[in-house]
Amino acid sequence: MTGMNRTFSIEMLRAGAHLLRVGHRAGSHSGPPLLLFNGIGGNIELLEPFARSMSRELIVFDLPGVGHSPLPPRPYRLGTISRLATTVLDHFGHQRCDVLGISWGGAAAQQFARSESERCRRLVLCATATGSVMIPASPSVLWKMMTPARFIRPGYAQRIAGDIYGGDFRRDPSLASEVFRHVRWQSRLGYYFQLGAAAGWTSIHWLHTLKQPTLLMAGEDDPIVPLANARLMRWLIPNSELKVLDCGHLFLLTRTRESASAIEEFLDRP
């Protein structure tokens, strides 16, 4: 993807011991920026189709060891990701933001909303759950998620796409080729560092303390994060609402305009 048609402008940013590849897109909207936390193994380019449907300023970064951010010197936890995000916000001169987390990134978004509550105005949680204490996927789905093979072998990704992503991928497995062409694979170690960052983490005992208005979005047919998790989080988070889409886990990428419209409407409310 050339610089001329890139949705995000890209730069490298030093954040303590970490070097981060950061994406930024100026928006036509006057509100706070939307900080994006990607799913596991997801790099900036994966979110470009979604970004083109949004009108507001967007900020995203490749996690350490993912995409084009170099491997970190040691394993990290979700609290580290929250601190890195504050450095990125400071770099662009923002004190507050709205936050969106997708799947694994939903855990990072929840942690940010708690650890940096004064900097998080509103929260959008997409296809995510409460961490290690959740209603789990089936063992066959979890086993497929424990390995990054789908990012490395396109044929394998297409074969299992319906099983792990559900929704539109059951009807059209070739969608996997379209989605994964945006992936910039780096290393197995970076993938396992990301898995390890959330190992043992759960928000279930403190979600009731979140003060931010929260939009929960979930796919009706999501093998990775069953819909019951979103219903549980809707019950736990005081000022929250739930939107269910007739889709699977990756609705931000397969139902992009519908998803973006719902998110913009929620963030634009007085």
Catalytic residue ranges: 103
Buried b (16+ CB within 10 A) or exposed e, 198-214: beebbbeeebeebebbb
Burial level of 74, CB count in 10 A (0-12/13-18/19+)?
exposed
CA atoms within 13 A on the CB side of 67: 25
Sorted by sequence, the CB contacts under 8 Å of residue 211 that are 6+ apart come out as 117, 238, 239
Report yes or no: 86 and 99 within 8 Å, Cβ to Cβ: no
DSSP 21-48: EEEEE--S--S--EEEE--TT--GGGGH
Element holding 245 (H helix, E strand): strand 240-245
Cα dihedral 102, 107, 108, 109 sign: positive
Given a contact cutoff of 8 angstroms between Cβ atoms, the answer to whether 100 and 37 are in contact is yes
Look at strands 34-37 and 97-102 and give their pairing: parallel
Helix (H, G, I), strand (E, B) or coil at 55: coil
